[in-house]
């Protein structure tokens, strides 16, 4: 074969559990794409002792393809761990993962590989950028996927971090401690791998025609628990504490301005609250930019200030609505109401700004 002397450059890992209807078609298709595009590729199947005989089927196919490998594991150990097992024995300096069920279009691989050659470290087959789409998923599955993607926004600016289809340079994984639990290996790598540029390529995801999905409730639990650990890993909690300290200072400032304007200048407390908000906002922006998110003040300051402002207007709405309800319906003293209202609106504020304003600038 054309790359017989050399090692493969690309290793595609495909986890399988009961995929006998799909796996042969996919392997044939991949190798034909490799040779058409002169890609030095190997395929590594990681089979968890599929009761339907997927492993045996692949063993037989190995006679036909020299660059087909298979890892047989004793029992079903999960999708992410299967991919990591495949990466371990991979010879290519570019690693890839895709599902066995024909959901991910093999034709996208040359395009994705091109992006790596053009300098990307990490390339994701994305359903959620322009040109990408999903075919065949019921509404509830789309909704869950969107919800899970939204929750991941705090950790990555990538539009489809839930994708199971990606390429990454192997050097990005060196020395990294990757958690094998769960389904969402792409997000795990986005959080923990060592990469500089990440690029999304639009793909059409087509739900499987044959066989059954292996996604179950346990995977939702793993996902949420992984998100919790990313909070610690990415120091989100530490940032939130800093954000709260800044916010507490802003609150004092806010209340001082509110008090002076209302009591000394006889301005209606709702109007005073707006002024108090703007003063505190500016102080909060500067302190958060420098201290909480560790940026230089000069870095795209006006642009970020406007984003910070927009999120803060949203938080102000929350603030005013809560303030109004507490004062008018619960007859709570407006100063105390304001403290509660600021507390609630700062949660909206933190996540809004961490996701939107300061996103992606710090890894």
Among 162, 190, 246, 281, binds ligand GDD (CB under 6 A): 162
Please state whether beta strands 133-135 and 204-206 pair in parallel, antiparallel, or not at all (unpaired): parallel
Nearer to Mn ion, 211 or 352 (CB): 211
Give the per-residue contact string, 41-70, with ligand GDD (x = CB under 6 A; - = no): -----xxx----------------------
Q: Is residue 82 close enough to count as binding ligand GDD by CB under 6 A? A: yes
* Candidate segments 102-110, 136-144, 280-288, 301-309, binder of Mn ion by CB under 5 A: 102-110
- In angstroms, give the least distance from the CB of 135 to Mn ion: 12
Q: In the window 86-105, what residues touch ligand GDD (CB under 6 A)?
A: 99-101, 103
Cβ-based neighbours of 97, under 8 Å, separated by 6 or more:
12, 13, 14, 15, 83, 86, 164, 165, 166, 185, 186
Closest to ligand GDD by CB, 42 or 101:
101
Contact 13, 97 (CB under 8 A): yes
Nearest distance from residue 145's CB to ligand GDD, in Å?
7
Task: Quote the CA–CA distance of 90 and 41 in Å, as a whole number.
Answer: 10
Please report, as residue ranges, which positions from 181 to 200 form the binding site for ligand GDD (by CB under 6 A).
Answer: 183-184
The answer to whether residue 115 forms part of the interface with Mn ion (CB under 5 A) is no
Greatest Cα pair distance, the chain, in angstroms, is 89
Q: Give me the least distance between CB of 22 and ligand GDD, in Å please.
A: 8
DSSP letters along 164-212, please? Answer: S-EEEEGGGGTT------SS-HHHHHHHHS--S-EEEEE-EEE--SSS-
In the set 8, 10, 11, 19, which binds ligand GDD (CB under 6 A)? Answer: 19
**Gyration radius of the chain's alpha carbons:** 26
What's the CA gap between 154 and 355, in Å, rounded? Answer: 5
Q: Does 214 bind ligand GDD (CB under 6 A)?
A: yes
Query: Smallest Cα–Cα separation from 351: which of 153, 209, 194, 173?
Result: 153
Residue count, binding to ligand GDD (CB under 6 A) = 26
Residue 246 and residue 291 in contact, taking contact as beta carbons nearer than 8 Å: yes
Give me 206's structure tokens.
């087509």
Given 8, 12, 13, 15, the residue binding ligand GDD (CB under 6 A):
15
Q: Residue 153's binding partner, choosing from ligand GDD, Mn ion, none, with beta-carbon cut-off 5 to 8 A by kind?
A: none
Q: Which stretch binds Mn ion (CB under 5 A): 101-109, 234-242, 297-305, 328-336?
A: 101-109
Return the range that interacts with ligand GDD (CB under 6 A); candidates 110-118, 159-167, 247-255, 320-328: 159-167
Q: Does 215 bind ligand GDD (CB under 6 A)?
A: yes
C-alpha to C-alpha distance for 88 and 46, rounded to whole angstroms? 11
Residue numbers 172-231 binding Mn ion by CB under 5 A: 208
Residue nearest to ligand GDD (CB): 164
For residues 55 and 47, the answer to whether their CB atoms sit within 8 Å is yes
Per CB under 6 A, the segment of 75-83, 173-181, 231-239, 310-318 that binds ligand GDD is: 75-83
Q: Give which of 186, 194, 39 is closest to 104, Cα–Cα.
A: 186
Residue 134, Cβ density class (10 Å: 0-12 exposed, 13-18 middle, ≥19 buried): middle
- Interface residues with ligand GDD (CB under 6 A) are 15-17, 19, 46-48, 76-79, 82, 99-101, 103, 162-164, 183-184, 205, 208, 213-215
- Interface residues with Mn ion (CB under 5 A) are 99, 101, 103, 208
């Amino acid at each position: 074969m054309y790359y017989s002397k050399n090692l493969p450059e690309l290793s595609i890992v495909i986890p399988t559990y009961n995929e006998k209807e799909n796996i042969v078609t996919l392997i044939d298709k991949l190798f034909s794409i490799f040779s058409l595009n002169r890609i030095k590729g190997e395929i590594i199947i990681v089979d968890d002792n599929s009761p339907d005989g997927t492993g045996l089927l692949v063993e037989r196919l190995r006679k036909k393809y020299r660059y087909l490998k298979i890892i047989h594991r004793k029992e079903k150990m999960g999708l992410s761990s299967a991919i990591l097992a495949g990466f371990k024995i991979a010879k290519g300096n570019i690693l890839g993962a895709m599902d066995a069920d024909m959901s991910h279009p093999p034709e996208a691989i040359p395009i994705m590989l091109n992006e790596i050659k053009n300098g990307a470290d990490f390339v994701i087959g994305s359903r959620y950028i322009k040109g990408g789409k999903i075919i065949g998923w019921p509404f509830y599955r789309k909704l869950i996927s969107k919800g899970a993607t939204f929750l991941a926004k705090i950790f990555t600016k990538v539009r489809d971090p839930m994708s199971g289809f990606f390429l990454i340079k192997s050097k990005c994984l060196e020395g990294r401690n990757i958690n094998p639990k769960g389904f969402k290996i792409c997000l795990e790598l986005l959080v923990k791998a060592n990469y500089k540029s990440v690029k999304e390529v639009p793909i059409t995801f087509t739900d499987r025609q044959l066989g059954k999905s292996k996604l179950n409730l346990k995977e939702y639990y793993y996902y949420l628990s992984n998100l919790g650990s990313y909070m610690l890993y990415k120091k989100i909690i530490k940032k939130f504490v800093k954000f709260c300290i800044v916010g507490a200072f802003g609150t004092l400032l806010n209340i001082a301005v509110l008090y002076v304007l209302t009591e000394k200048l006889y301005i209606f407390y709702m109007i005073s609250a707006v002024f108090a908000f703007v003063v505190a906002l500016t102080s909060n922006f500067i302190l958060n930019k420098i201290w909480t998110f560790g940026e230089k003040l000069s870095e795209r300051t006006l642009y970020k200030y406007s984003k910070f402002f927009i999120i803060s207007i949203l938080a102000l709405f929350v603030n005013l609505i809560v303030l109004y309800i507490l004062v008018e319906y619960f007859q709570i003293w407006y100063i105390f109401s304001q403290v509660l209202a600021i507390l609630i609106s700062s949660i909206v504020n933190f996540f809004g700004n961490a996701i939107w304003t300061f996103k992606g600038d710090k890894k």
